[in-house]
Amino acid sequence: GPSEKGLPQGATALSKCLFSQDLDPNSGLLPPLSQACSCLPEPCMDGERSPAPPEKGRDSPFAWSPGPSSSFIDPDWFGDENIQAKRARVETIVQGMCLSPHTPAPAPSKARARDGACCPGKARERKRKQSLPMQQGPLKPGPAGDHGSRKGGPRVREQLHQLKQQLKHLQKHILRAAEPRDTAQDAGGSETDKGPLRAQQRKGYGRRPRALDSDHYQGSRGDHPEEEKHRASEAEHQSEEPRFLPCGAQALLEILRKELTGAVSQAVDSVLQKVLLDPPGHLTQLDRSFQGLVPEGRSEPSPPERGACKDLFPLATLPRRAQPQTGVLLQNFSLAKSLDPPRYPVSLRMIPIPCQGPPANCPLTAPSHIQENQTLGQLLGPRPRGHWSSSLPHDSTPQSHRSSESGLRPWGAVKLRPSVLSQQQYALPFASPRLERLPVLPSVKMEQGGLQAVPDVLPFPSLHTQEGLNPGHLKKAKLMFFFTRYPSSNLLKAYFPDVQFNRCITSQMIKWFSNFREFYYIQMEKFARQATTDGVTNPKMLVVLRDSELFRALNMHYNKGNDFEVPDCFLEVASLTLQEFFRAVSAGKDSDPSWKKPIYKIISKLDSDIPEIFKSSNYPQELFRN
């Protein structure tokens, strides 16, 4: 039978919860199931697009990232174009170094060769997507495209080899040079190398063998006969050769140095802040102060609405510690409306991670002054929702705030453990580097800095597309489960661009999700049965909140370490699943051997869109590894 862990407490809490069923059932506080259902995808993704097929965005010019450095959704990207281009070069070269001798070409060409070999349709698809980012800026396809294999192959390989040597050399120097430097490296440094680097990009980018497909090549220089084209470019190379390497070396040096020093200083800051916060009692103080923000009807000055809320919905507005801890909780969706962020302007200032407090849903409107609290934001919690979705409408409809009354979440203290540092790496992929300048995303900024300090100072990780699945992929898949329970293989392919999919890999990943579902449904059934034995009669009383036991179980399974903020849409789906199981069990349908199938069918329609950032991250899966 199912494990009964924690049930005594849960049962007690549940019985408390049952008292609340005396609430007027006609008060309209609990919307019909169908209504709740129809709103599900909204909180986590663009509501307009929620029913669209998962693959819908893939033709977007920026939906696919061919390499570690492109794919930008934000128009502001062009401001950092140079930085990104530099990063691209560095990573590409490092990538080449890390590849085995039998895979001489960088990832893009690898992918291309693979595609061409097995399925032409896919190859075309990728080609189209791949070529788009290349069109940005001055990056012209060079002669090494497909023609390199005919004539320029050896040469290209030789150049690549030179680059590798150069980089090895640089690595040694930089790792040594970066340490003593202060953080005074600023825009000036990057400005100086802009010009040369751009020139280098123009000519140097295309010299990587088969990095660009021939279609693209011909498209941009179609007016030249192939031979001539090649010869001209060859000459171009030779004239550029002497300048190219030193120039590139300088650029590499500069960018690496900047990255390293920045990361180190961030790390120092981060550690310092932690140390400062470490004194015993500090955290509890913080906790207390945050708890104070939760309406208790006493000392905290509260807007008029709050008092009204409290009177109307006493249970739901209780502070966390007073709330039932079981997997089931009374919740009325109307309540959320009364907790709209704008009504707590003062509280907002005091809450580093807005989602943690009652005014939970205003991360995108967080003012820049919140930077003061960056450290708290970093230490105390997961990223506010919306970090991964720049297109989040962030309306103020009740649906998008429904879970706001979940109150404080118990992950604050955990974040303070030093050992958790390594877990935080998973946070990074959801923030593109250019976001670090945006004041509205304080925790992202800090986390990124801190994160880079840890893994990036170490020897360069490999960035190549790899054959198998690694633990990072598993981790990412688990997080994706929060959005989709039934991903199609196409969706998986779209969201794991660094994985070379074959039949085996695909089925393995499908199997992963099957296992995820299995655990998920087992939990649901367990808690639904518990609810029935505890005497719950109204399924709508069963709501999964962030502080419920059920949520903890799920979170522990899919998000061990709390390094990802579970999207609200998952809570909605989980609540519905729980309710469906409850209905079925309490109706005795579980005598039917296939009684779960209708439930599965319902839940399978509740998949949400996965945030684009999951696939368009600049660090595809690197930070998911380990």
Cβ 58 to DNA, closest distance in Å?
18
Binding-site member from 37, 466, 600, 626 for DNA (CB under 7 A): 600
Q: Tell whether residue 512 is a contact of DNA (CB under 7 A).
A: yes
Binding-site member from 214, 508, 532, 538 for DNA (CB under 7 A): 508
Cβ 593 to DNA, closest distance in Å?
7
Cα–Cα distance for residue pair 172/41, rounded to 1 Å: 49
Cβ neighbours around 155 below 10 Å, total:
17
Q: Tell whether residue 596 is a contact of DNA (CB under 7 A).
A: yes
Binding-site member from 18, 469, 536, 543 for DNA (CB under 7 A): 469
Residue 364 near residue 386, CB atoms below 8 Å: yes
| Piece in contact with DNA (CB under 7 A), picked from 96-104, 196-204, 332-340, 499-507 | 499-507
Q: How many CA atoms lie within 13 A of 370 on its CB side?
A: 30
- Nearer to DNA by C-beta: 457 or 510? 510
| Piece in contact with DNA (CB under 7 A), picked from 367-375, 420-428, 516-524, 527-535 | 516-524
Q: Tell whether residue 55 is a contact of DNA (CB under 7 A).
A: no
Cβ 614 to DNA, closest distance in Å?
17
Residue 131 near residue 212, CB atoms below 8 Å: yes
Binding-site member from 515, 532, 586, 626 for DNA (CB under 7 A): 515
Q: Tell whether residue 486 is a contact of DNA (CB under 7 A).
A: yes
- Nearer to DNA by C-beta: 9 or 514? 514
Cα–Cα distance for residue pair 593/187, rounded to 1 Å: 66
Residue (of 152, 471, 90, 112) closest to 103 by Cα position = 112
Binding-site member from 199, 350, 474, 602 for DNA (CB under 7 A): 474
Binding-site member from 48, 372, 518, 592 for DNA (CB under 7 A): 518
- Nearer to DNA by C-beta: 77 or 519? 519
Q: Tell whether residue 478 is a contact of DNA (CB under 7 A).
A: yes
Q: Tell whether residue 514 is a contact of DNA (CB under 7 A).
A: yes
| Piece in contact with DNA (CB under 7 A), picked from 25-33, 219-227, 416-424, 507-515 | 507-515
Residue (of 10, 50, 24) closest to 334 by Cα position = 24
Cα–Cα distance for residue pair 499/439, rounded to 1 Å: 34
Please, which of residues 557-586 interact with DNA by CB under 7 A? Answer: 557
Q: Tell whether residue 489 is a contact of DNA (CB under 7 A).
A: yes
Cα–Cα distance for residue pair 580/575, rounded to 1 Å: 9
Number of chain residues interacting with DNA (CB under 7 A): 24
Cα–Cα distance for residue pair 226/565, rounded to 1 Å: 52
Specify the 3-state DSSP secondary structure of 278: coil
Residue 466's beta-bridge partner residues? 499
Residue 433 near residue 623, CB atoms below 8 Å: no
- List the x/- string, 228-267, binding to DNA by CB under 7 A: ----------------------------------------
Q: Tell whether residue 517 is a contact of DNA (CB under 7 A).
A: yes
- Nearer to DNA by C-beta: 150 or 503? 503
Cβ 506 to DNA, closest distance in Å?
7
- Nearer to DNA by C-beta: 396 or 515? 515
Q: Tell whether residue 503 is a contact of DNA (CB under 7 A).
A: yes
| Piece in contact with DNA (CB under 7 A), picked from 217-225, 382-390, 457-465, 515-523 | 515-523
Cβ 431 to DNA, closest distance in Å?
24
For residue 231, the surrounding DSSP H or E stretch is helix 226-277
Cα–Cα distance for residue pair 409/367, rounded to 1 Å: 22
Cα–Cα distance for residue pair 236/482, rounded to 1 Å: 51
HEC per residue, 95-116:
HHHHCCCCCCCCHHHHHHHHHH
Residue (of 400, 403, 384) closest to 543 by Cα position = 403
HEC per residue, 29-84:
CCCCHHHHHHCCCCCCCCHHHCCCCHHHHHHCCCCCCCCCCCCCCCHHHHHHHHHH
Length reported for the chain: 626
Q: Tell whether residue 470 is a contact of DNA (CB under 7 A).
A: no
Cβ 492 to DNA, closest distance in Å?
10
- Nearer to DNA by C-beta: 333 or 482? 482
- Nearer to DNA by C-beta: 119 or 232? 119
Backbone angle region of 623, left / alpha / beta, with phi > 0 → left and psi within -120 to 50 → alpha: alpha
| Piece in contact with DNA (CB under 7 A), picked from 177-185, 228-236, 407-415, 596-604 | 596-604
The gap from C-alpha 302 to its chain's centroid, in whole angstroms, comes to 35
Cα–Cα distance for residue pair 472/310, rounded to 1 Å: 44
Binding-site member from 239, 507, 533, 537 for DNA (CB under 7 A): 507
Looking at residue 356, the DSSP 8-state letter turns out to be G
Residues that bind DNA (CB under 7 A): 469, 474, 478, 486, 489, 503, 506-508, 510-512, 514-519, 521, 557, 594, 596-597, 600
